[in-house]
Chain A
Amino acid sequence: MDSYIITIGIFIAINSIVVSGLNIIVGYAGQISLGHAAFFGIGAYTAAILATKAGLSFWLSLPVVIVITGTIGLLMGLPSLRVREDFLAITTIGINFIVEAFFMYVPFFGGALGIGGIPRIEFFGTPLHGFAFLVLCLVFLVIALFISWWFTKAWCGLACFTLRDDEVAASTIGVSPVKFKLLAFVIGTAMAGIGGALYAHYMRFISASDFGFPVSVMMLSMLVVGGMGTVWGPILGAAILGILPEVFRPLIDYRMLLYATLLLLVIRLQPGGILGDNGFVKSRLKAFSRGGKNEK
């Protein structure tokens, strides 16, 4: 396979994992986050430092990455217990800037130079690159999707849905907002961390600007386009926003304009996202399962 296509595939897979995590926080639990790239970054930096300074392999550092991003995610979830909606959005933006500044200005994290020389992931002694790395990413994507799917079927997911709709009413049926919001934050940010570790080992060089606020916005855009609160939405969103810039490469200068147009179109025409409840995919499927008759 063409290595160009493989590279795009790897980015889409990694973004899908990270956006699936964002989906658990925003789509399932209804806690808006515009700072998800921070956790993507924390995962990447943790993996990079463990690999370059401690010489740990990807497989050994992975549990550490998950624990560290999840723990920081837990701490960052605490504001969501006090502030909501617009205010939470602004708070999470702030978190993103703080984390980015940390990577940028603390010498331990390589400062403005970032961290280079991150080794490739080895699998029983063979370094993975190209197609093999894509397969590895897809394996993690399947795991992320499984968690996402299980979440919609487990009590904790249902608890998150009730929190998203009405926090007060959710408490009156015994849902602790603290417990389930934080659970969503931990799982969501840990997934971002896994994505970050894969990213670090694939790029083999990372710097703070890879995890800035625009990246968070892009992730949220992917989620909105694909369909918030759906299991497959993050993949569709990551694929669309991953492929479009490649297809329209001659228009690279107008990329942001394209994003904005796409986002506005989705919000206007498919407010729940393409795979969302009132999206055309679902209504087509419904019509199809009814034998083509389009009743109400």
Chain B
Amino acid sequence: MKNNSLLRLENVSKQFGGLHAVEDVSFSLNKKEILGLIGPNGAGKTTCFNMISGALKPTTGKIFFKGIRIDGLPIHKIASMGIGRTFQIVRPFYSLTALENIQAALGIEKYQSKFQFWQKWDNQNIKKMALEILEKVGLADFAHYKAGLLPLGNLRRLEIARALALKPELLLLDESFSGLRQEEINKLSELILQIKESGVGILLIEHNMRVAMGLSDRMVVLDHGKLIASGPPEKIKNDPHVIEAYLGKGEKKYVAS
């Protein structure tokens, strides 16, 4: 079991001065699995995310990806190992077109090499690959628009497309549904399930409970930096600790579905 897991966090903690943003958190994620990471605001979800993607170094603890220790490696190294991520607040390359955003991500191997980055990127092959990815997320019609001109819903798709262009084995989605309309949410959920079926492991941070419960195979709940529950969505839904974290004590009658 241990060796099969794609991503594994072992007793990871992160302190910012006196603040324990994440405290002794352990969980693992397998291939072809969606793990929902939920918790109230300030629970440490994004901090966890940033440690996995390399933006932050854990104070203590270890993070393994495919059995290799990755905590403390620079972001671009981790990305090149096969971890793609999106951002809670979208960060597309605004001055590039949607297509160029994807083309840029397709160069991941060239950027790591010693000399191959002198090769031409502007070729038909790369363009075709990028268009295919845009088509997959339903942005083909916007390929030649500057990313800065696209609305939020499309930018969220663009970020997922950009992460997919890395051909990741693990995809980290940071609140990819926030600020979207219901139709957009439905379409995006379908897309995420498709990505999962293609064999990618997905770690999903989500505030929208219905979406998170519907998509996740397993869930992990954080509160004040601590892991308070983990298991399948049905179990999480009825876990008294989770209900308490979200709604406080003595309100169990009114738990939302």
B118 is contacted by which of A154, A169, A179, A180 (Cβ under 8 Å)? Answer: A154
Given contacts A153-B122, A165-B96, contact A172 B103 (CB under 8 A): no
Give the distance to chain B from A163, nearest Cβ to Cβ, in Å: 9
Q: How large is the interface on A (under 10, 10 to 19, 20 to 34, 35 or more residues)?
A: 20 to 34
Among A153, A161, A173, contact of B95 (Cβ-Cβ < 8 Å): A161
Asked if A257 is at the interface (CB within 8 A of a chain B CB), the reply is no
Residues 154-170 of chain A: 1 if any B CB is under 8 Å from the residue's CB, otherwise 0? 11111101101110111
Q: Is B112 interfacial (CB 8 A cutoff)?
A: yes
B54: chain A residues within 8 A (beta carbon) = 171
Candidate in B74, B84, B93 with the most chain A CB atoms within 10 angstroms: B93
What A residues does B109 contact at CB under 8 A? 174
Size of chain B's interface in residues, with CB distance under 8 A? 38
Question: Which of B55, B75, B80, B117 is the one whose CB lies under 8 Å from A156?
Answer: B117
Q: If A153-B122, A154-B121, A165-B96 touch, does A159 touch B107 (CB 8 Å cutoff)?
A: yes
B75 and chain A: residue at smallest CB distance: A171
Among B94, B104, B105, residue most surrounded by chain A Cβ atoms (within 10 Å): B104
Residue of A nearest to B85 (CB): A172
Check A101 for interface membership: any CB of B closer than 8 A: no
Q: Is the CB of B118 within 8 A of A155?
A: yes
Q: Which residues of B contact A (CB under 8 A)?
A: 53-55, 74-76, 79-80, 84-85, 87, 91-96, 100, 103-105, 107-112, 116-122, 162-163, 165-166
- If A154-B117, A176-B74 are given as contacts, then 19 extra A-B residue pairs at C-beta distance below 8 Å, sorted by A number, are A150-B118, A154-B120, A155-B116, A157-B121, A158-B103, A161-B93, A161-B96, A165-B94, A165-B96, A166-B91, A169-B93, A170-B93, A171-B54, A171-B79, A173-B76, A173-B104, A173-B166, A174-B80, A174-B111
